[in-house]
Amino acid sequence: MPQPGDRPYDFVGVGFGPANLALAIALEDHNARAVRGDRLTALFVERQPRFGWHRGMLIDGATMQVSFLKDLVTMRDPSSDFSFLAYLRDKGRLVDFINHKTFFPTRTEFHDYFSWAAGRLGHLVRYDAEAVAVEPVDAGGEVAEFAVTVRDAAGTPRAVRARNLVIGGGLQPCLPPGVAESERVWHNQRLLIRLAERTGPPPRRWTVIGAGQSAAEVTEYLHRTHPDAEVCSVFSRYGYSPADDSPFANRIFDPEAVDLFHGAPEEVKRRLFDHHRGTNYSVVDLDLIEELYRRAYQERVAGRERLRMLNACKVLDVREVPGGARTTYEFLPTGEREVLDSDVVVCATGYRPFDALGLLGPAAALCRRDGEGRPLVERDYRVSTGPSVTAGVYLQGGTEHTHGITSSLLSNGAVRAGEILDSILARRPEHRPAASPAVR
């Protein structure tokens, strides 16, 4: 537990991906302008040894699916020097990028931008550290603080106090039901890392499961970089579905759309979500769909088909077998079952939100839930609690049921970070103790 003389942070951020990185920037910008008494103290804990964002999917040439203007700060404050344009200026590439005439940088460049921003905020972050437990601190019937147990890379725990928690644990990879990751069965999240670690003869056949952007990118990459191998893409649709990135549909990502969604009746929320799934879920950029079709057609003309699209197929089982991995699938129109053996199976089967309430442990009992057991989340991303709880729990992700599709996306990250910081500022005690030193 924290020692009696310890002073609480205004907030502790769990995780340091792009969402909490945007919050750290908002905090830094605020503190740079604020007088001493209005500055906030914070600590972010991140279990990775350094900043990293989907490193396993930084495929050569893969581009972002959001405009560079939806960076870590511009939608909140275009004048901040943490913008993507400020990064380009600092790197000496601003003119070159302008001449490139694109709104969509490569994923590799945007990761470098994130790393550049994170490198300027090292004083706020403790890497190789994981928040493993949270306990409410009861003072006379009021919970105004949490005790957060942080474990370092050596396994040594230390508790810090926080008036608020901001949980940005990111997304956790999902595998098909009953499937376990192994040497021959991977989730696409660590694709490039797995490829770098792999030894032995090159695979003669790959199987990729999934119908979304990641599945298509993995299929394209393996087909391009393993010219002697067959790549089989297995999915239940008849073909890849194109992403709806048209201007009017993109309004679902606008900050104002979050206001409207949060205040709408549950039936309307479900309807809006279903109407606009095609902007983000299990969809693929049209250019990539056309490129894969072009390759498949050219191979058919040449009489050597390495790219196989096993469409309208439901995966029934994936398991490792001696020397490879076996996929059993059903061709949906006929019900016929087939077995496909390959050297490696890559499951591009999506993600689920981090279990924020699971991390909270006993403190989760303070959080109100809806009829389906999901947390009730207020418009400012603060989980609803009873009147005796003045300490706040804020969620960066896992709020699709209350805030819509932008819950875990970059599109609204800068604005969301500003709203969370404003809420913490509005709820802070009138008389605050002096700043707490960072945990090291």
pLDDT tens per residue, range 255-277: 999 999 999 999 999 998 888 87
Q: Do domains 11-170+354-427 and 174-243+281-350 have the same CATH topology?
A: yes
Per DSSP, 438 falls in state P
Q: Residue 239: pLDDT band by 50, 70, 90 thresholds?
A: very high
Q: What is the pLDDT of residue 329?
A: 97
Q: What is the pLDDT of residue 5?
A: 45
Q: Residue 279: pLDDT band by 50, 70, 90 thresholds?
A: confident
For residue 152, how many C-alpha atoms fall within 13 Å in the half-sphere facing its CB?
Answer: 9
Measured torsion, CA atoms of residues 349, 355, 356, 362, in degrees rounded to the nearest 10: 180
Q: What is the pLDDT of residue 7?
A: 87
Distance separating alpha carbons of residues 289 and 235, to the nearest angstrom: 14
Residue 408 pLDDT greater than 90, yes or no: no
Tracing tokens 């706040």 back to the chain, one arrives at 392
Q: What is the pLDDT of residue 268?
A: 93
Residue 4 pLDDT greater than 80, yes or no: no
| Token code pair at residue 256 | 């104002």
User: What SS3 state is found at 213?
Assistant: helix
| CB-based contacts of 383, cutoff 8 Å, min separation 6 | 367, 368, 375, 376, 377, 392, 393, 394, 395
Distance separating alpha carbons of residues 435 and 117, to the nearest angstrom: 23
Q: Model's pTM, two decimal places?
A: 0.93
Q: Residue 429: pLDDT band by 50, 70, 90 thresholds?
A: confident
Measured torsion, CA atoms of residues 273, 279, 284, 287, in degrees rounded to the nearest 10: 160
Q: What is the pLDDT of residue 140?
A: 86
Distance separating alpha carbons of residues 344 and 363, to the nearest angstrom: 42
Rounded to a whole number, what is the distance in angstroms from the first to the last CA of the chain?
17
| Token code pair at residue 366 | 């303070």
Per DSSP, 120 falls in state T
Pick the CATH number of 11-170+354-427 from 3.50.50.60, 1.10.10.10, 3.40.50.1950, 3.40.50.261: 3.50.50.60
**76 vs 244, residue with greater confidence:** 76
* Alpha-carbon separation of residue 46 from 23, 125, 128 (angstroms): 14, 7, 6
Q: Residue 1: pLDDT band by 50, 70, 90 thresholds?
A: very low
Q: How many CB atoms lie within 10 A of CB 54?
A: 18
The third-level CATH classification (topology) of the domain covering 174-243+281-350 is FAD/NAD(P)-binding domain (3.50.50)
Q: How many CB atoms lie within 10 A of CB 370?
A: 13
Amino acid at 73: V
Q: Residue 130: pLDDT band by 50, 70, 90 thresholds?
A: very high
Q: What is the pLDDT of residues 192-238, one digit of tens each?
A: 999 999 998 999 999 999 999 999 999 999 999 999 999 999 999 99
Find out whether 269 and 257 touch, Cβ atoms under 8 Å. no
Residue 2 pLDDT greater than 60, yes or no: no
Indicate the pairing of strand 164-167 with strand 42-45: unpaired
Tracing tokens 């040449």 back to the chain, one arrives at 302
User: What SS3 state is found at 138?
Assistant: strand
Q: Residue 430: pLDDT band by 50, 70, 90 thresholds?
A: low
| Token code pair at residue 300 | 């058919």
Residue 435 pLDDT greater than 50, yes or no: no
Question: Per-domain residue ranges for the chain?
Answer: 11-170+354-427, 174-243+281-350
Residue 3 pLDDT greater than 70, yes or no: no
Report the Cα 302 to chain-centroid distance in Å: 41
Q: What is the pLDDT of residues 319-375, one digit of tens each?
A: 999 999 999 999 999 999 999 999 999 999 999 888 888 889 888 999 999 999 999
Distance separating alpha carbons of residues 304 and 295, to the nearest angstrom: 11
Distance separating alpha carbons of residues 208 and 255, to the nearest angstrom: 35
Q: What is the CA radius of gyration of the chain?
A: 23
Q: What is the pLDDT of residue 432?
A: 43
Q: What is the pLDDT of residues 301-325, one digit of tens each?
A: 999 999 999 999 999 999 999 999 9
